[in-house]
Chain A
Amino acid sequence: MQLRSGYHVNSHSPNDEFLIPLRLRWDEAGPVKAVEVTYPKPELRNYGFSDQPVSVFTGAFAILTRLQAATDAPTGTGTLAGKLRYQACDEKSCLPPRTIEVRLPYEIR
């Protein structure tokens, strides 16, 4: 993922109950399942709008997903679909939460 300069998204584990966490969820139907989603280590950043450091991601970062194919899955290519929910802010303002479709191509050999 690549965020616009000056913006951050809340991490998957924000340290305020009212903040919206980053969430990647993969569809469970199909021959391939996501068995683990790993987020990077969040940054704890100070912003003028918070009296405590905020758990965020900025700039470029990757979310890793470990996939597992069903034992009877046919070989070949496919696509895993999922949804990414995020909420972004800069120092002075916030954008509404968004949920976007994500698609991950894979190959079973």
Chain B
Amino acid sequence: MCWLPSRRVVVAGLPALLLLGCRRSTARRAAPDFELKDADGRPVRLSDYRGKVVLLNFWATWCGPCTVEIPWFVEFERRHKDQGFAVLGISMDEDGWEAVRPFMSHLGINYRVLMGSDEVSRRYGGVDSLPTTFLIDREGKVAKVHVGLVSKGRYENELLELLSSAGAGGNRSARPGARAGRAG
């Protein structure tokens, strides 16, 4: 609830006070856009996915906890992709696709995987610990951040909430002309 302590508040200060007092502390920030290449060498931008709920997962082949989550994400992609949902994996492997391609086959990854960079890591606050996962709403804003392994149920509840959130538009797909949605 927004509450003003006194009617004697000077007019010039009122807008700032209203902003401070009424702005939700959980205000979402725009997820930084990026352009990275997928396994086929095609450029992919996060903004291509505007209108979709995106699970953006920073991971690496050498990260044990990451390998627990990946099968969940494969399942989420399969079950929810028609509801305007996409998983994007960003690999932070130093050895590039040479290390990542066999791993993708090994785990049957059905979503798009991109090769990460220090620049993208920096834009996302300096991703150091893996896995780090961002849940991004249909407006391209960060709704949740998870550093480290969390439960499958928690992810599922959060993404279902985002998929059904007010104004989300149910089966909305990406904007016309967007290149989103192709699996890995």
Interface residues of A (CB under 8 A from B): 16, 18-20, 47-50, 54, 87, 89, 91-97
Contacts and interface: CB of A to CB of B under 8 A. Distances in A.
A95 B128 contact: yes
A49 B62 contact: no
A78 B100 CA distance: 42
Contacts, number: 54
Given A94-B129, A94-B130, A96-B130, 20 more contacts: A16-B64, A18-B62, A49-B64, A49-B68, A49-B149, A50-B64, A54-B64, A87-B62, A89-B63, A89-B65, A91-B65, A92-B65, A92-B148, A93-B149, A94-B62, A94-B64, A94-B65, A94-B66, A95-B130, A96-B128
A37 to B, nearest CB: 22
A109 B18 CA distance: 78
Contacts of B63: 89, 93-94
A74 B130 CA distance: 48
Contacts of A94: 60, 62-66, 129-130
Interface string B36-66: 0000000000000000000000001111111
16 contacts: A18-B62, A18-B103, A49-B64, A49-B149, A50-B64, A92-B65, A92-B149, A93-B65, A93-B132, A93-B149, A94-B60, A94-B129, A94-B130, A95-B128, A95-B129, A96-B128
B20 interface: no
Contacts of A47: 64
A96 B92 contact: yes
Nearest to A93: B148
Nearest to B59: A94
A96 B128 CA distance: 7
